[in-house]
């Protein structure tokens, strides 16, 4: 305990010198050794110094200051620190480019200066991390301060570490570690470590001959020290072994001094008195010790001119994978200061490949990566799938065999609150399996404790959900306009119609002016008509309807322009609406999933996807709030509400209802391709920074071989062939049928255009109904208005008038060709205004009025002269006017009595050249 206090060591040495000593043997720290060096140099006392560090931490170089007068009485019995040379050799043999050195708080970092200088010249990336007493807190702060991306970047550095720690501190990395370990302790260490472990320890080769093994320079050594099989030697510290050999070296020197009869008596020295003289026999004793040569517990001990012991030998031990899937320790090489490295750090078995090796593989069922094949009763279970095909291809190339079994808890592997791991990762950590093959993803958390091969397939997260059912809306054609727009259009139609009706009535009233009132504006009307035709063609209405009123033209023009804009806008919006409807897909990205409210979503609890969303959603540096919203829903009630316990449960849940399952894209895509009903589809989000790999124990020698062969399979295209086998481009279901517009998808379907036919059918039915109502209404009106007609038309007077006209001798007059015969009943049934219009429109036309009586037709005609060159448009295409035959009753209610003597014949009046007949007006009949 007091060996590390220089003042105490100084007082203890002075007390010994007062008793008289020949030499001083010490085992202290570097600071105490410097103080003792000054004392022994001053008193000329030979000093054999054995360096030691506190709490067994690794030694650092201890540079002792030379004596001012050049006489140095201190000899270093323990060889100088050659650990830097050994580490540099190991780093070169293992081809480390990045590694980290963990050193104890008691370790003097200056001892690594030479090592750091050499690694810097070689271009190696070396990181240093000091470990305090609270080593757990150091690692907690180290890993929590680094983001996942940084841990992923430095994972190669963290996987390779050099520990310059005390045994207590090194237990955080590996269990039951000592700087001096026996074979049993090394075996326990190998089984408790997490991967490939290289142990560097100093060795002291003993004589193999048992007869002389306990004899050192004619001195018998205790069997507890010389026989390593008894285990007593392994419990001693290295400094104690050098202490024993130093005493043996002094005994040998004293013996030779006695033989040479050059003995100098011991002198009592006082360190306090200034008058004390140094021992005069000190230099002679120092030369005798320095020329000595012994073989002790630590091997050969002799001293060089600089006072150091150069004989040191190290043993490099490494883990080896046995056929029983366990680990053992074997010597890989040795190192000494003369020959350097003797041996190779590579395992001979790995140099020969994996030919003939049987490895144990743990797997988990995940379609289509690993599935159960058809098994035969009594034989081991067989598997198939994409990962199994990759494993078979590797086994065929490398020549190994494998035994496969399923993991008990059906989990890939995640860290539990107590620090342990479950699933396939736990099987690898507990050394129950060599390889883990399934849809296992490479993550930084997993790669910190196990090794992964190169990825054999890229990884991304897919969104599995039920295909959105197409909503059939036969009135989807009304969707381009809002309800308020349709209401305004519907209100504009009657308003414009009423205005046009009023303006038309006003025009009809103005048209009752004398015929010659508008003759002067004929040119203006023609110009307006031409402009009107041009405008009608512009608004796609044509120029057939020539409207005379300017106000009516303004109304009609505004309405036509309004309808043109409305129809054009409707057409454009309808095309855009139908296009968007075809391209619409409810969920395409994570952002769409977070914004929508129709689908619940989740993933498998305690999985890599679950951990991914937790890391992204709880990261305060994450700028995208999408992952925060996704994680809030996924982790609701600790994942019990929406997340599931297995991928198969999530796929079944997505098939049944509005649920989106977040899982590996390869798995959900296979489920969608092989779905019986083809009712589910996949939307994806790329996360190509990850991939699927083969997991193995940390430090596994199979990693490089398997990774190399995977790269060869990728270059040859064999992996693409296997992917096409399990994910065919043309599967049972088409995943793009709901999103990609196919050539036949550009045409409108019947259900989208059915609203137009419904409107047409409704219009036709309404027209038929209105026509039936009109027929019923007209038939009833004819019956109701017939008595009124009898009162208005005095047929008896008409009959007498016709008889009187027939008496006149008018037979010589001919009816001109352009004459119109109008039935009296036809004229009587016309409104008064139309009767006037009919007469006014044809002022120069011969008018024939006929009266038809029941049972027989009696007609008489009165012809008015027609102006020359005028033509009359006939109201009907037929040359014969239709007649209305009604039974006329007398005012007393009886039928008219017909005169049998006179048969009324139609008479014609021919215009007299030179002017009209004066009697034409008197004999005319006006009804």
In angstroms, the CA 463 to CA 665 distance is 8
* pLDDT recorded at residue 744: 46
Q: Is 611 annotated as a binding residue?
A: no
- The answer to pTM > 0.85 is no
Matching residue, tokens 């001919």: 814
Together in a domain, 551 and 454: no
Q: Is 59 annotated as a binding residue?
A: no
Query: Is the four-CA dihedral 128, 130, 135, 141 of positive or negative sign?
Result: negative
Nearest to 888 by CA among 896, 877, 878: 896
* pLDDT recorded at residue 681: 83
Distance of CA 106 to the CA centre of its chain: 49
Asked which of 541, 562, 583 is the last residue of a domain, the reply is 583
DSSP H or E stretch at residue 31 = helix 30-43
Asked which of 544, 563, 583 is the last residue of a domain, the reply is 583
DSSP state, residue 229: G
Q: Are 77 and 301 in contact (CB under 8 A)?
A: yes
Does residue 117 sit within a domain?
no
Count other Cβ atoms within 10 Å, centred on residue 854. 13
Segment 98-150, tens digit of pLDDT: 788 877 776 667 667 778 888 888 888 888 877 765 554 555 555 555 555 55
Together in a domain, 564 and 591: no
Segment 152-173, tens digit of pLDDT: 555 555 567 777 766 555 555 5
For residues 335-348, average pLDDT: 71
Identify the residue with better confidence: 878 or 356: 356
In angstroms, the CA 595 to CA 794 distance is 87
Tally the domains of the chain. 6
Together in a domain, 292 and 366: no
pLDDT over 70 (residue 598) = yes
Together in a domain, 560 and 612: no
pLDDT over 90 (residue 190) = no
The region of weakest confidence among 337-341, 650-654, 813-817 is 813-817
Does residue 102 sit within a domain?
no
Does residue 859 sit within a domain?
yes
Extract the tokens encoding 22.
Answer: 């020949």
Does residue 839 sit within a domain?
yes
Q: In what order do the strands lie in the sheet with 401-406?
A: 401-406, 358-363, 435-437, 695-697, 450-452
β-sheet bridge partners, residue 219: 216
pLDDT over 80 (residue 435) = yes
- At 785, is the pLDDT very low, low, confident or very high (cuts 50, 70, 90)? low
Helix (H), strand (E), coil (C) string for 607-642: CHHHHHHHHHHCCCCCCCCHHHHHHHHHCCCCCCCC
Does residue 39 sit within a domain?
yes
- Residue range(s) defining the domain that contains residue 74: 2-79+238-301
- At 571, is the pLDDT very low, low, confident or very high (cuts 50, 70, 90)? confident
pLDDT over 80 (residue 869) = no
Q: Which long-range contacts (CB under 8 A, 24 or more apart) does 66-74 make?
A: 67/41, 71/41, 71/44, 71/283, 72/41, 72/307, 73/37, 73/40, 73/41, 73/44, 73/45, 73/46, 73/47, 73/282, 73/283, 73/286, 74/33, 74/36, 74/37, 74/40, 74/41, 74/47, 74/49, 74/307
- At 285, is the pLDDT very low, low, confident or very high (cuts 50, 70, 90)? confident
Does residue 314 sit within a domain?
no
Torsion of CA 487, 488, 493, 498, to 10 degrees: 120
In angstroms, the CA 433 to CA 404 distance is 9
Together in a domain, 831 and 916: yes
Extract the tokens encoding 453.
Answer: 């091969």
Segment 687-716, tens digit of pLDDT: 556 788 999 988 788 888 899 899 989 888
Does residue 697 sit within a domain?
no
Segment 461-503, tens digit of pLDDT: 888 888 777 666 666 777 777 888 888 877 877 777 777 777 7
In angstroms, the CA 821 to CA 861 distance is 8
- CATH number where 732 lies: 3.40.190.10
- At 860, is the pLDDT very low, low, confident or very high (cuts 50, 70, 90)? very low
In angstroms, the CA 401 to CA 391 distance is 10
Angle 722-724-725 (CA atoms, 0-180°, nearest 5)?
65
For residues 631-656, average pLDDT: 84
* pLDDT recorded at residue 733: 74
- CATH number where 269 lies: 3.40.50.2300
Together in a domain, 762 and 803: no
pLDDT over 60 (residue 219) = no
Q: Are 170 and 163 in contact (CB under 8 A)?
A: yes
Together in a domain, 597 and 732: yes
Together in a domain, 589 and 738: yes
- At 539, is the pLDDT very low, low, confident or very high (cuts 50, 70, 90)? low
Does residue 630 sit within a domain?
yes
In angstroms, the CA 40 to CA 46 distance is 7
Together in a domain, 777 and 816: no
Together in a domain, 612 and 731: yes
Together in a domain, 578 and 591: no
Together in a domain, 614 and 732: yes
For residues 298-317, average pLDDT: 79
Q: Are 620 and 147 in contact (CB under 8 A)?
A: no
Query: Is the four-CA dihedral 166, 170, 175, 179 of positive or negative sign?
Result: negative
Q: Is 446 annotated as a binding residue?
A: yes
- Residues of the chain with pLDDT > 90, as a percent, come to 2
- Residues of the chain with pLDDT > 70, as a percent, come to 58
- Name the phi and psi angles at 325, rounded to 5: 65, 20
């Amino acid at each position: 305990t007091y060996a590390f206090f220089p003042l105490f060591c100084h007082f203890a040495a002075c007390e010994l010198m007062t008793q008289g000593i020949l030499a001083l043997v010490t085992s202290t720290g570097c600071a105490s050794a410097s103080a003792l060096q000054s004392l022994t140099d001053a008193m000329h006392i030979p000093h054999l110094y054995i360096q030691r560090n506190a709490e067994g931490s690794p030694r650092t170089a201890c540079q002792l200051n030379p004596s001012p007068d050049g006489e140095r009485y201190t000899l270093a019995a323990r060889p100088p620190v050659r650990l830097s040379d050994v580490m540099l050799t190991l780093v070169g043999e293992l081809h480390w480019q990045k590694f980290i050195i963990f050193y104890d708080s008691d370790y003097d970092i200056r001892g690594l200066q030479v090592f750091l200088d050499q690694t810097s010249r070689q271009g190696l990336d070396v990181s240093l991390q000091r470990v305090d007493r609270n080593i757990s807190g150091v690692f907690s702060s180290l890993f929590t301060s680094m983001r996942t991306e940084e841990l992923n970047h430095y994972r190669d550095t963290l996987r390779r570490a050099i520990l310059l720690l005390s045994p207590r501190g090194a237990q955080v990395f590996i269990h039951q570690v000592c700087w001096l370990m026996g074979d049993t302790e090394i075996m326990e260490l190998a089984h408790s470590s997490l991967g490939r472990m290289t142990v560097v320890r100093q060795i002291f080769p003993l004589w193999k001959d048992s007869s002389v093994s306990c004899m050192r320079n004619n001195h018998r050594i205790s069997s507890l020290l010389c026989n390593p099989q008894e285990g007593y030697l392994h419990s001693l510290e290295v400094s104690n072994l050098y202490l024993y050999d130093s005493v043996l070296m002094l005994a040998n020197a004293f013996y030779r001094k006695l033989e040479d009869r050059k003995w100098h008596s011991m002198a009592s020295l006082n360190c306090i008195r200034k008058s004390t003289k140094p021992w005069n026999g000190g230099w002679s004793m120092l030369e005798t010790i320095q020329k000595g040569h012994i073989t002790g517990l630590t091997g050969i001990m002799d001293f060089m001119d600089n006072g150091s012991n150069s004989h040191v030998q190290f043993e490099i031990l490494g883990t080896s994978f046995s056929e029983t899937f366990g680990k053992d320790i074997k010597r890989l090489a040795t190192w000494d200061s003369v020959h350097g490295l003797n041996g190779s750090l590579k395992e001979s078995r790995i140099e020969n490949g994996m030919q003939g090796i049987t490895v144990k593989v743990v797997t988990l069922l995940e379609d289509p990566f690993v599935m159960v094949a058809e098994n035969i009763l009594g034989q081991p279970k067989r598997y198939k799938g994409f990962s199994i095909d990759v494993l078979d291809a590797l086994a065929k190339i490398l020549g190994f065999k494998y035994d496969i079994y399923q993991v008990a808890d059906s989990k890939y592997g995640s860290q539990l609150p107590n620090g342990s791991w479950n699933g396939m990762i736990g099987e690898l950590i507990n050394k129950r399996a060599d390889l883990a093959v399934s849809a296992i993803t490479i993550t930084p958390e997993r790669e910190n404790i196990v090794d992964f091969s190169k990825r054999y397939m890229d990884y991304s997260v897919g969104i599995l959900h039920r295909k959105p059912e197409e909503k059939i809306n036969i009135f989807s054609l009304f969707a381009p306009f809002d309800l308020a727009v349709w209401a305004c259009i519907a209100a504009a139609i009657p308003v414009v119609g009423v205005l046009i009706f009023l303006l038309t009535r006003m025009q009809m009233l103005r048209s009752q002016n004398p015929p010659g009132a508008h003759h002067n504006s004929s040119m203006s009307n023609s110009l307006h008509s031409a402009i009107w035709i041009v405008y009608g063609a512009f608004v796609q209405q044509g120029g057939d309807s020539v409207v005379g009123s300017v106000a009516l033209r303004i109304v009609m023009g505004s309405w036509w322009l309004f309808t043109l804009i409305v129809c054009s806008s409707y057409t454009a919006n309808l095309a855009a609406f139908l296009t968007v409807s075809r391209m619409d897909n409810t969920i395409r990205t994570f952002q769409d999933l977070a914004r929508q409210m129709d689908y619940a979503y989740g993933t498998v609890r305690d999985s890599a996807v679950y951990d991914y969303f937790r890391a992204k959603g709880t990261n305060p540096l994450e700028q995208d709030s999408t992952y925060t919203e996704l994680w809030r829903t996924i982790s609701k009630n600790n994942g019990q509400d929406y997340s599931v316990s297995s991928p198969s449960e999530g796929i079944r849940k997505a098939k049944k209802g509005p649920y989106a399952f977040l899982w590996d894209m390869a798995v959900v895509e296979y489920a969608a391709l092989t779905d019986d009903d083809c009712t589910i589809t996949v939307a994806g989000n790329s996360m190509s920074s990850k991939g699927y790999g083969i997991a193995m124990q940390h430090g596994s020698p199979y990693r490089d071989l398997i990774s190399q062969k995977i790269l060869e399979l990728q270059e040859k295209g064999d992996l693409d062939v296997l992917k096409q086998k399990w994910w065919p481009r043309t599967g049972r279901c088409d995943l793009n049928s709901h999103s990609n517009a196919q050539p036949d998808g550009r045409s409108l379907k019947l259900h989208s255009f059915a609203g137009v036919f419904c409107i047409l059918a409704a219009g036709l039915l309404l027209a038929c109904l209105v026509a039936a109502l009109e027929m019923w209404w007209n038939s009833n009106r004819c019956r109701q208005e017939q008595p009124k007609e009898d009162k208005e038309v005095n047929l008896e007077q008409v009959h007498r008038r016709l008889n009187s006209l027939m008496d006149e001798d008018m037979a010589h007059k001919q009816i001109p060709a352009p004459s119109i015969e109008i039935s009296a009943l036809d004229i009587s049934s016309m409104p008064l205004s139309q009767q006037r219009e009919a007469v006014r429109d044809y002022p120069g036309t011969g008018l024939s009025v006929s009266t038809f009586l029941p049972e027989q037709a009696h007609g008489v005609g009165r012809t008015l002269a027609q102006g020359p060159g005028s033509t009359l448009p006939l109201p009907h295409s037929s040359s014969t006017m239709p007649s209305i035959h009604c039974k006329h009753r007398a005012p007393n209610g009886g039928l008219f009595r017909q005169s049998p003597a006179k048969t009324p014949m139609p008479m014609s009046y021919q215009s007299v050249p030179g002017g009209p007949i004066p009697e034409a007006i008197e004999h005319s009949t006006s009804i």
